Structure 1
Amino acid sequence: MEIQNSTQSVTTVIKGLTIYIIASIVSSVVKIIAVLMNLGTIMCAASTGDMGGAIASLGFTAIITLIVGLAVLYGIWLYYSGLQQFAPELDEVGTKAVGNLSNAALLMLIAQILTMVGIFVPIIGSVIAMILVVIAFVLNIVGYSALRNSASLNSLGQDGAKQLFTGFIFAIIAVCVSWIPVLSWIAAIVLNILYWVYLFKGWGKIRQSLQ
């Protein structure tokens, strides 16, 4: 029963990550489209004087962004729930490691809520959200690093934990690279894809090791 519970909790983690990543990608695309649509609408309204249409368009894109944001929120919550279920099944080292990951997920959850509030009330909470994300990054790197040493995981599971750690290193590099001008976004996309691949492979191996 304990093994079955562990497998189910890791499956929940993977489902949460899947929803979160897909929703995040969609969110980024929607934001780009929204900016282009809003820019075109505002320019059109400025030339025709139809401000009502511009306001309606802005409201529509805000609603779409909100819906996608809720999907991101659900993905994080599901991921957090899976981690909470998985932590008690591990030894002390593993429990503390997953505890750090859970705390990071909780901070990301709060940051996402603050970001969504910012859709309708710009700037409010943005600084706090950014601080929470930075703290979450630190907790994630500490958690993934410690999880590699959990005695509750066999060699396959520890290999998966190592891949999680490596993947998160890619994520950190992607964030750093994104600040560098000239084609930095391409490098960031490639690094993020590597992060996602390692993320799913890592948790997949951990789940497989529990079966």
Structure 2
Amino acid sequence: MLIALLFLAFSLPPYTTLNPQLSRVPSSFPLHYPFLVAHIGFASVAMLTACLQIWPWFRQRYPIVHRRIGRVYVFAGVLPAGVCGLIIGAASPYGPPAAASDVMLAVLWLTFTAVGFRMARKRRFADHRRWMIRSFALTFSIITNRIWGIIFAIALPSPSPAEIAPLGAWLGWTTMLLLAEWWLVERGVGKRRARRAAAAAS
């Protein structure tokens, strides 16, 4: 939550003025800026609500609130942010490699979230948690995107935004998704070991 608040405190101010001249992303088509502002606003909702959704104590103590915030995460966060991201990503001003990454990220983000929501509706909560962990990883991949951008800006000689953006775009979400998959595998292995130990003890 602290990381999300710090990131938003840095990222949001230029867009709260609704002044296209302050945008950190150059426009690539006439309606690019409105879609970008909408994407940033809805994605901010997704980031803040996701922090509460993955908190085990909160989820277990307030299950009804968890469900309600989950609907906000899906319908006022990921769904509109993902659609806007798909539109602006397809016309990325940083070239086809960045556009391909942005489109794939938006499609996977929407898909993971939709599947996770569907699993909850079917009361398949173990599957719901796994898909929502993937969704959470992509929600926060914008932060790792920026971290990779800083790394490449320092490491590359005289880099341009057109060089840094595609690298940061791809590594931002793929590393987060790989980390989520690793965590899910390790968590599953740990649970199986615990069950085997309990069975042996009994």
TM-score (norm 1): 0.48
- Greater RCO (CA < 8 Å, at least 6 residues apart): 1
Counterpart of 1:164 in structure 2: which amino acid? A
Equivalent pair of 1:69/1:112 in contact (CA under 8 Å): no
What is the rounded CA distance, in whole Å, between the counterparts of 1:157 and 1:6 in structure 2? Answer: 18
Once superposed, what is the RMSD of the aligned Cα atoms?
A: 4.1
Counterpart of 1:98 in structure 2: which amino acid? D
Query: 1:64 corresponds to which residue?
Result: 65
Query: 1:171 corresponds to which residue?
Result: 176
CA shift, 1:12, in A, is 2.9
Counterpart of 1:11 in structure 2: which amino acid? V
Query: 2:46 corresponds to which residue?
Result: 20
Query: 2:108 corresponds to which residue?
Result: 104
Equivalent pair of 1:114/1:125 in contact (CA under 8 Å): no
What is the rounded CA distance, in whole Å, between the counterparts of 1:180 and 1:4 in structure 2? Answer: 46
User: What's the CA shift string for 1:170-194, capped at 9, x where partnerless?
Assistant: 413532256547xxxxxxxxxxxxx
What is the rounded CA distance, in whole Å, between the counterparts of 1:105 and 1:65 in structure 2? Answer: 20
CA shift, 1:23, in A, is 0.9
Query: 2:156 corresponds to which residue?
Result: none
Counterpart of 1:107 in structure 2: which amino acid? T
CA shift, 1:106, in A, is 2.5
Q: 1:172 to 1:110 in 2, by over 3 A?
A: closer
- Give the count of matched residue pairs: 139
User: What's the CA shift string for 1:126-159, capped at 9, x where partnerless?
Assistant: 27x74xx59x98xx9xxx9xxxxxxxxx932542
SS in 1 for 2:65: helix
The answer for unaligned runs of 5 or more in structure 1 is 38-60, 145-153, 182-211
Q: 1:63 to 1:165 in 2, by over 3 A?
A: same
Equivalent pair of 1:27/1:68 in contact (CA under 8 Å): yes
What is the rounded CA distance, in whole Å, between the counterparts of 2:96 and 2:168 in structure 1? Answer: 21
What is the rounded CA distance, in whole Å, between the counterparts of 2:37 and 2:121 in structure 1? Answer: 30
User: What's the CA shift string for 1:79-138, capped at 9, x where partnerless?
Assistant: 2121232145346655544332232122123123224315xx3x27927x74xx59x98x
**Which range is displaced more, 84-93 or 61-70?**
84-93
Q: Structure 1 vs Structure 2: percent identity of aligned residues?
A: 7
What is the rounded CA distance, in whole Å, between the counterparts of 1:166 and 1:95 in structure 2? Answer: 14
What is the rounded CA distance, in whole Å, between the counterparts of 1:113 and 1:15 in structure 2? Answer: 21
Query: 2:85 corresponds to which residue?
Result: 83
CA shift, 1:32, in A, is 1.8
Does 1:116 pair with 2:141?
no
The answer for unaligned runs of 5 or more in structure 2 is 1-26, 146-158, 188-202
TM-score (norm 2): 0.50
Q: How does 1:1-211 map to 2 (within 5 A)?
A: 2-29=28-55, 31-35=56-60, 37=61, 61-73=62-74, 74-90=76-92, 95-118=99-122, 121=123, 123=124, 126=127, 130=131, 155-175=160-180, 176-177=182-183, 179-180=185-186
CA shift, 1:26, in A, is 1.0
What is the rounded CA distance, in whole Å, between the counterparts of 1:87 and 1:164 in structure 2? Answer: 10
Q: 1:124 to 1:68 in 2, by over 3 A?
A: closer
What is the rounded CA distance, in whole Å, between the counterparts of 1:11 and 1:170 in structure 2? Answer: 26
Counterpart of 1:69 in structure 2: which amino acid? G
* Bigger Cα Rg: 1
